[in-house]
């Protein structure tokens, strides 16, 4: 995924956080997501990319428009 000029990524939670590792739950919360199907826009930084990579199986990730 290439970086856009504004450096934003849209992230949506598509799988439940129930019965997940505490570190994975913390990553989702760190991205600012609180509930299922909530979509947030986060800065495209190495820190956010690391959290997204750790919990990629629960997220839908797109470049912000």
Checking if the pLDDT of 20 tops 90, the result is yes
Residue 42 near residue 32, CB atoms below 8 Å:
yes
In percent, how much of the chain has pLDDT > 70? 91
Task: Give me the CATH number covering residue 47.
Answer: 3.30.1390.20
Say whether pTM exceeds 0.95.
no
Domain assignment present for residue 34? The answer is yes
Alpha-carbon dihedral angle through residues 47, 52, 8, 60, given to the nearest 10 degrees: 180
Q: Which residue segment(s) compose the domain that 44 sits in?
A: 8-63
Does residue 19 have a pLDDT over 90? yes
Q: Would you say residue 46 lies in a domain?
A: yes
In a domain? residue 2: no
pLDDT digits (tens, 9 = 90+) for 31-51: 999 999 999 999 999 999 999
- Within a domain: residue 1? no
Is 25 a domain residue? yes
| Structural domains in the chain (count) | 1
Is residue 3 in some structural domain? no
């Amino acid at each position: 995924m290439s970086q856009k000029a504004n450096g934003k990524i849209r992230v949506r939670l598509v799988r439940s956080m129930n019965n997940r590792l505490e570190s994975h739950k913390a990553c989702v919360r760190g991205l600012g997501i609180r509930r299922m199907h909530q979509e947030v826009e986060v800065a495209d930084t190495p820190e956010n990319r690391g959290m997204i990579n750790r919990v990629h199986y629960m997220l839908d990730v797109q470049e912000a428009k």
